[in-house]
Amino acid sequence: MKKRLGIDIDGTVTCPSTFIPYLNEAFGKELALSDITQYNLAPLYGVTEEEMDRWLEDNEADIYERAPLARYALEVIDSWKDKYELYYISARGRHLYELTERWFRRHGVYYHHIDLIGSHDKIAAVRQYKLSAFFEDKYDNACEIAEACGIPVILFDTPYNRGPLPENVIRVNNWLEAKREIEQRLRP
């Protein structure tokens, strides 16, 4: 039986700066990815969490539709399609499933399963699907999954996810490094 890899979508398969131009335009800022030093965007854009949530709800579908792939993601994922089962676990809401699946097809991103759980708490899904490793960009998710599930978690480095890491969270700069790390750790 092939090992299953769990993969977050936004900021992992998609470029982590995807939302920034849209946020800058909407809220009159000129922030770059290097300025996004926390996951909670509301304080960085000078709005309340309710305003940010409302803006995200109104704009997420259009932004997800246009999201560019992260560098090297396609070639690495493609190299794994016959070696591993690829399970995408995202905090996106279920109402975005058709849009998400269409984006995967349009960009040629291979998948065995997509689960939009509507929450950042991915531990139950990691356990349910018996994943062997996980790929994430959200710091607390990476740490919680690694500690609760005892699997390696590849954390894609961004300014918003810096912090001390548990032993089995591995920080990488790109998908090529992620591939090298996971293939060392999941040898048959």
Question: CA torsion, points 132, 64, 51, 49, in degrees to nearest 10?
Answer: 10
Q: Which stretches within 31-94 are classed as H helix?
A: 42-45, 49-66, 73-80
Residue 110 has pLDDT above 90, yes or no: yes
- d(C-alpha 69, C-alpha 58), whole Å: 22
Report the share of the chain in percent with pLDDT over 70. Answer: 99
AA letter at 169: V
Determine contact, residues 169/139, Cβ cutoff 8 Å. Answer: no
The mean pLDDT of the chain is: 97
Residue 113 has pLDDT above 70, yes or no: yes
Give the pLDDT confidence score for residue 46 in this predicted structure.
97
Instruction: Kindly indicate the confidence band of residue 52, based on its pLDDT and cuts at 50, 70 and 90.
Output: very high
Give the pLDDT confidence score for residue 188 in this predicted structure.
61
The answer for 73, left when phi > 0, alpha when psi is -120 to 50, beta otherwise, is alpha
- Taking only the tens place, the pLDDT of each residue in 134-184 is 999 999 999 999 999 999 999 999 999 999 999 999 999 999 999 999 999
Take residue 149 and report the two structure tokens written for it: 């599930």
Residue range 19-41: mean pLDDT, rounded:
97
- d(C-alpha 49, C-alpha 82), whole Å: 42
Instruction: Kindly indicate the confidence band of residue 1, based on its pLDDT and cuts at 50, 70 and 90.
Output: confident
What percent helix, strand, coil does the chain show, rounded to 5?
45, 15, 40
Nearest to 85 by CA among 49, 68, 110: 110
Residue range 114-128: mean pLDDT, rounded:
96
Residue range 49-64: mean pLDDT, rounded:
97
